[in-house]
Amino acid sequence: MTRYIFIVGGVMSGIGKGVSCASIGKILQSSGHKVSAVKIDPYLNSDAGTMNPVEHGEVFVTEDGLECDQDIGNYERFFDQNMYRYNYMTTGQVYHSVIIKERSMYYNGKCVEVVPHITEEIIKRIELAGAKTKADFLLIEIGGTVGEYQNMVFLEAARIMKLRHSSQVMFIMVSYLPIPKMIGEMKTKPTQHAVRALNSVGIQPNIIIGRSSAPIDNPRKRKIAIFCNIGEEDVISAPDSDNIYEIPLNFEKDKMSQRIFFHFGMQTKKGDLKEWKKFSNKYRRLTRPVKIAVIGKYFSTGKFVLSDSYISVIEAIKHSSWSLGFKPEIHWLDSEEYETNPEKLKELKKFNGIIVPGGFGARGVEGKIKVIKYARMNKVPYLGLCYGMQLAVIEFARNESKLKNAHTTEVDPKNPHPVINILPEQEEKLKNMNFGGSMRLGTYPCELKKDTISFKAYGEKNILERHRHRYEMNNDFREKLEQAGLVIAGTNPQKNLVEIIELKNHPFFVAVQFHPELKSRPLRPHPLFREFIKAAAKRK
Ligand code: GLN
HEC readout, 65-125: CCEECHHHHHHHHHHCCCCCHHHEEEHHHHHHHHHHHHHCCCCCCCCCCHHHHHHHHHHHH
Peptide bond into 219 cis (omega under 30): no
Question: Where do the structural domains in the chain lie, given as residue ranges?
Answer: 3-280, 286-538
Q: Is 13 annotated to bind ligand? A: yes
Number of the ligand 1 atom closest to the C-alpha atom of 515: 9
Closest ligand 1 atom to residue 385 Cα is 8
Of the candidates 386, 472, 506, 531, the residue annotated as catalytic is: 386
| Percentage of residues in the chain having pLDDT higher than 90 | 91
Torsion angle in degrees (nearest 10) through CA of 85, 90, 93, 98: 120
* CA distance linking residue 160 with residue 452, whole number of Å: 56
Position 138 confidence tier, pLDDT thresholds 50, 70, 90: very high
Please tell me if the domain spanning 3-280 has the same topology as the one spanning 286-538: yes
395 is in an annotated binding site: no
The fold of the 3-280 domain, in CATH, is Rossmann fold (3.40.50)
Q: Whose CA is nearest to atom 5 of ligand 1?
A: 387
- The catalytic position among 33, 117, 417, 515 is 515
Q: 233 an active-site residue?
A: no
Query: What gap in Å lies between CA 397 and CA 382, rounded to an integer?
Result: 17
pTM: 0.95
CATH number of 286-538: 3.40.50.880
* 399 confidence band (pLDDT: 50, 70, 90): very high
Residue pLDDT, tens place only, 271-322: 899 999 999 888 888 999 999 999 987 665 555 556 688 999 999 999 999 9
d(CA 376, CA 508): 9
Closest atom of ligand 1 to 471 CA is: 10
